[in-house]
């Protein structure tokens, strides 16, 4: 399906509703994105060229990405919370010749333009920026009739940069027009029941992979998207009730914030319209998921994948309750667990998780060595996670390979300790890292954020005792620190920040 199909079928139906009530109908999205696509063609952009988008969550985001998608372009969302140097690096590295920027991000946009000579066309939204042309004025005079052939484009996402310089993930462009199903859309229909009368609530920033892909997928299927500016648990629940939301996608930290609401506030909202709540992006602690299923029923779904999109697993609530802790079975090919020597391990043994995919279709832009580093043979690739499979081929993730703690030559997996600590009533959030130790190499350090801000020695001792009663002594924290954890807006823990803080001998 194309946008024009939905515009012809229900022209006044909203394709997008912002949190403050601003709407963009399917007819408006079709006409204006076609105009912008015609502008792109007029200024010389051709299939395979790249544009960069530096914007907050706003209507123009969707005009831009759909114009690029229907023009065969790569489009790179840039995190608006990056420093000027970081944002400029991404815009340069992706090879963008066009930059579309939000006037509220003028310092980032101006710095990027000054330091990127390859950006030959630059447009602003939501106000003016020196040397930038207002986007709406620029495309206003162009025809609303689309090009005869509209080749499919592709997002070119950059890794979060939590472990170093971010790398662009570049996939070969599809060999069809943009109306054909792309990546997540068949799963949205077949597994999670998206239909044209569905209403999808997006609570996260669009510059991240999943929020933008899911919003575009929902609109491609004819659904209305409700877009939040920033996640707030009360507002999230209120929007579900107000718009009778049927589908949403969350990250585990959002679940935790929802669960922490007082019971009377949870009971205030009518949530019966919900049909599917999908979570991904970060591991979900088992106690949190159990409580969400208890509250909302068996409509909690999980999937595990990456922006590279070479392997995906999925699991529903019923399966998860029977295989607690699993992220499901593979949807795209076989899963292989491999040891450090590259030998495949039997079920139940922990190793590096590889997906077998005979149609691998990605590379890390400008970094062939990084591309090669995640491959094993011609068609196995890894996201860098450690895990194991059970006898029924359900996958269980243990940790990132780079997060492994080695103390006295023994492997210790932080996620197991984190799940144990989250069972303690005082713990709201936790991360376990390896602190330098002169004797053991590393020692287990638990960094804890509490519900009420408590941070005394008695609580630290209580948390250590809590662990000793539940897990092996060598896994238990030798130290507990209390501080707010550094997480991205999509809930990913920035372990690099914590590891740097505890790298010195304690």
Q: What is the pLDDT of residue 504?
A: 64
What is the share, in percent, of the chain residues with pLDDT greater than 70?
98
pLDDT tops 50 at residue 494: yes
Our measurement of the distance from residue 230's CA atom to the centroid of its chain's CA atoms, rounded to an integer in Å, reads 14
Residue whose tokens read 């500016």: 229
Residues 6+ apart with CB under 8 A from 96: 50, 51, 52, 76, 116, 118, 119
* Mean pLDDT, residues 96-115: 97
Report how far apart, in Å, the C-alpha atoms of 163 and of each of 207, 340, 473 are: 19, 21, 29
Residue 455 has pLDDT above 90, yes or no: no
* Domain map (residue ranges) of the chain: 3-13+24-180, 182-279, 332-401, 404-501
pLDDT range class, residue 438, cuts 50, 70, 90: confident
Is residue 349 pLDDT above 90, yes or no?
A: yes
* 8 Å CB contact between 150 and 5: no
What tens digit of pLDDT does each residue of 459-469 get?
999 999 999 99
CATH of range 332-401; options 3.40.50.300, 2.30.38.10, 3.40.50.261, 2.70.98.60: 2.30.38.10
Report the 10 Å Cβ neighbour count for 284.
25
Which residues have C-beta within 8 Å of that of residue 395, sequence separation ≥ 6? 304, 313, 326, 327, 328, 329, 330, 335, 353, 387, 388, 389
Residue 160 is predicted with a pLDDT of 57
Quick one: which of 320, 264, 252 has its CA closest to 288?
252
326 vs 371: CA distance, rounded Å: 27
Is 117's pLDDT higher than 60? yes
pLDDT of residue 489: 75
CA dihedral 250, 256, 260, 264 (to 10 degrees): 30
Q: What is the H or E stretch that residue 111 is in?
A: helix 106-115
pLDDT classification of 164: cutoffs 50, 70, 90: low
- For residues 383 and 429, the answer to whether their CB atoms sit within 8 Å is no
d(CA 227, CA 19): 6
In this structure, which topology does domain 3-13+24-180 adopt according to CATH? Rossmann fold (3.40.50)
Q: Can you state the angle between helices 209-220 and 59-69, rounded to 10 degrees?
A: 70
- Quickly state the pLDDT bin for 163 (edges 50, 70, 90): very low
Contact by Cβ (8 Å): 217, 247: no
Look at residue 167 and give its three-state secondary structure.
coil
Rama region for 336: left / alpha / beta (φ>0; ψ in -120 to 50; rest):
beta
pLDDT digits (tens, 9 = 90+) for 350-406: 999 999 998 888 999 999 998 999 999 989 999 989 999 999 999 999 877 778 887
Same fold, 3-13+24-180 and 182-279: yes
pLDDT-wise least confident of 30-39, 105-114, 407-416, 456-465 = 407-416
Is the four-CA dihedral 53, 485, 236, 322 of positive or negative sign?
positive
At residue 158, does pLDDT exceed 60?
yes
Q: Which residue has the higher pLDDT, 492 or 191?
A: 191
User: String of b and e for 344-361 (b: at least 16 CB within 10 Å)?
Assistant: eeeeeebbbbbbbbeebe
Q: What is the pLDDT of residues 14-44, one digit of tens each?
A: 999 999 899 999 999 999 999 999 999 999 9
Token pair for 135:
């986007």
* pLDDT on residue 440: 78
SS3 call for 183? coil
The H-or-E segment that residue 106 falls in is: helix 106-115
Q: What percent of the chain has pLDDT over 90?
A: 77
Q: Quick one: pLDDT band at residue 446, thresholds 50, 70, 90?
A: very high
- Check: CB of residue 394 under 8 Å from CB of residue 329: yes
497: its two tokens: 């920040």
Q: CA 29, 32, 38, 44 torsion: positive or negative?
A: negative
- What would be the CATH architecture of the domain defined by 404-501? 2-Layer Sandwich (3.30)
Using alpha carbons, select from 72, 140, 58, 129 the residue that is nearest to residue 99. 129
Residue 162 pLDDT: 41
pLDDT tens digits along 218-238: 999 999 999 999 999 999 999
Q: What distance in Å separates the CA atoms of residue 318 and residue 322, rounded to the nearest whole number?
A: 7
- For residues 83-91, give the mean pLDDT: 92
Pairwise pLDDT comparison (2 vs 416), residue with the higher score? 2
- CATH code assigned to 182-279: 3.40.50.980
What pLDDT digit, counting tens, does each position of 302-331 carry?
999 988 999 999 999 999 999 999 999 999
Kindly provide the residue ranges of all beta strands, DSSP E only, lying in 177-246, ordered along the sequence.
199-202, 224-227
Query: What is the Cα gyration radius of the chain?
Result: 23
């Amino acid at each position: 399906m194309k946008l024009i199909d939905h515009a012809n079928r229900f022209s006044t139906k909203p394709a997008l509703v912002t949190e403050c009530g601003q709407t963009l109908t399917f007819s408006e999205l079709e006409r204006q994105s076609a105009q912008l696509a015609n502008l792109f063609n007029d200024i010389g952009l051709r299939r395979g060229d790249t544009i960069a988008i530096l914007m907050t969550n706003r209507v123009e985001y969707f005009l831009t990405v759909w114009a690029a998608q229907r023009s065969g372009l790569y489009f790179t969302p840039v995190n608006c919370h990056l420093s000027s140097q970081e944002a400029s690096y991404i815009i340069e590295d992706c090879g963008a010749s066009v930059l579309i920027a939000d006037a509220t991000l003028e310092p980032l946009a101006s710095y990027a333009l000054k330091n990127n000579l390859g950006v030959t066309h630059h447009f602003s939204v939501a106000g003016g920026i020196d040397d930038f042309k207002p986007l709406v004025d620029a495309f206003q005079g162009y025809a609303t009739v689309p090009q005869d052939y509209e080749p499919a484009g592709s997002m070119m996402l950059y890794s979060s940069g939590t472990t170093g310089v971010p790398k662009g993930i570049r996939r070969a462009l599809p060999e069809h027009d943009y109306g054909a199903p792309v990546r997540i859309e068949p799963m949205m229909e077949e597994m999670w029941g998206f239909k044209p009368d569905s209403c999808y609530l997006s609570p996260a920033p669009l510059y991240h992979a999943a929020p933008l892909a899911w919003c575009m997928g929902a609109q491609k299927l004819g659904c209305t998207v409700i877009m939040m500016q920033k996640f707030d648990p009360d507002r999230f629940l209120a929007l579900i009730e107000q718009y009778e939301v049927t589908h949403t996608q969350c990250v585990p930290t959002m679940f935790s914030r929802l669960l922490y609401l007082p019971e009377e506030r949870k009971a205030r909202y009518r949530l019966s319209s919900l049909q599917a709540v999908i979570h991904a992006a970060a591991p979900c602690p088992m106690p949190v998921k159990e409580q969400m299923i208890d509250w909302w029923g068996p409509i909690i779904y999980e999937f595990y994948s990456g922006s590279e999109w070479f392997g995906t697993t999925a699991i529903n609530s019923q399966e998860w309750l029977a295989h607690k802790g699993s992220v499901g079975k593979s949807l795209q090919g076989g899963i292989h667990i491999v040891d450090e020597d590259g030998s495949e391990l039997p079920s139940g043994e922990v190793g590096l998780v590889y997906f077998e995919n005979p149609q691998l279709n990605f590379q890390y832009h400008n970094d062939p060595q990084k591309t090669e580093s995640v491959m094993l043979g011609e068609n196995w690739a890894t996201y860098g996670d450690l895990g194991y499979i059970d006898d029924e081929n359900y996958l269980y993730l243990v940790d990132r390979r780079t997060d492994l703690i080695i103390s006295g030559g023994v492997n210790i997996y932080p996620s197991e300790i984190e799940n144990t600590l989250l069972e303690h009533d005082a713990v709201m959030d936790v991360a376990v890292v390896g602190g330098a130790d002169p004797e053991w190499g590393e020692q287990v350090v638990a960094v804890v954020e509490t519900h009420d801000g408590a941070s005394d020695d008695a609580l630290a001792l209580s948390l250590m005792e809590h662990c000793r009663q539940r897990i092996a002594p060598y896994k238990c924290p030798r130290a507990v620190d209390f501080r707010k954890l550094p997480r991205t807006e999509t809930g990913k823990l920035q372990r690099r920040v914590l590891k740097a803080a505890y790298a010195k001998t304690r």
